[in-house]
Amino acid sequence: MTKKILRALAGETQATPPIWMMRQAGRYLPEYRATRAEAGDFLSLCYNSELAAEVTLQPIRRYGFDAAILFADILLLPQALGADLWFVTGEGPRLSTITTQAEFDALKGIDHIHETLNPVYETVRILSRELPEETTLIGFAGAPWTVATYMIAGRGTPDQGPAHALMAENLAVFEQIIDLLTDSTIDYLSAQIEAGAEVVKIFDSWAGSLKGEAFDKYALAPARKITKALKAKYPHVPVIGFPRQAGDNYIGFARATGVDCVAVDDSVSPEWVAKHVQPDGCVQGNLKSSHMVTGGPELVSETRRIVETLKNGPHIFNLGHGITPDADPENVHLMIEAVRAGN
Residues that bind ligand CP3 (CB under 6 A): 22-27, 36, 42, 69, 71, 73-75, 92-93, 140, 142, 156, 203, 205, 322
Least CB distance to ligand CP3 at residue 75 (A): 5
Shortest Å distance, C-beta 246 to ligand CP3: 13
To ligand CP3, the closest distance from the beta carbon of 1 in angstroms equals 24
In 3D space, the residue among 123, 118, 114 whose CA is nearest the CA of residue 49 turns out to be 123
Taking the least distance from each CB to ligand CP3, the nearer of 205 and 303 is 205
Which of 44/312 has CB closer to ligand CP3?
A: 44
Q: How far is the C-alpha of 127 from the C-alpha of 69, rounded, in Å?
A: 10
Edge-to-edge order in the sheet of strand 261-263:
67-69, 136-142, 199-204, 239-243, 261-263, 282-287, 315-319
Write out the E strands in the chain: 67-69, 85-88, 92-95, 136-142, 199-204, 239-243, 261-263, 282-287, 315-319
Toward ligand CP3, which CB reaches closer, 203 or 218? 203
Report, in Å, the least distance between residue 105 CB and ligand CP3. Answer: 25
- Residue 274 or 332 with smaller CB distance to ligand CP3: 332
Shortest Cβ 312–ligand CP3 spacing (Å): 28
Ramachandran assignment for 234, one of left (phi > 0), alpha (psi -120 to 50 degrees), beta (any other): beta
Q: Which residues are catalytic?
A: 23, 27, 36, 73, 150
Cβ–Cβ under 8 Å, residues 44 and 176 = no
The dihedrals phi and psi of 329, each to the nearest 5 degrees, come to: -55, -30
Interatomic CA distance for residues 237 and 233, integer angstroms: 9
92 by Cβ neighbours in 10 Å (0-12 / 13-18 / 19+) ranks as exposed
Backbone φ and ψ for 44, nearest 5 degrees, come out as: -65, -35
By beta-carbon proximity to ligand CP3, the closer residue of 144 and 322 is 322
Helices (H) and strands (E) in the chain, counts: 17, 9
Closest residue to ligand CP3 using C-beta atoms:
205
- CB count, 10 Å around CB of 322? 18
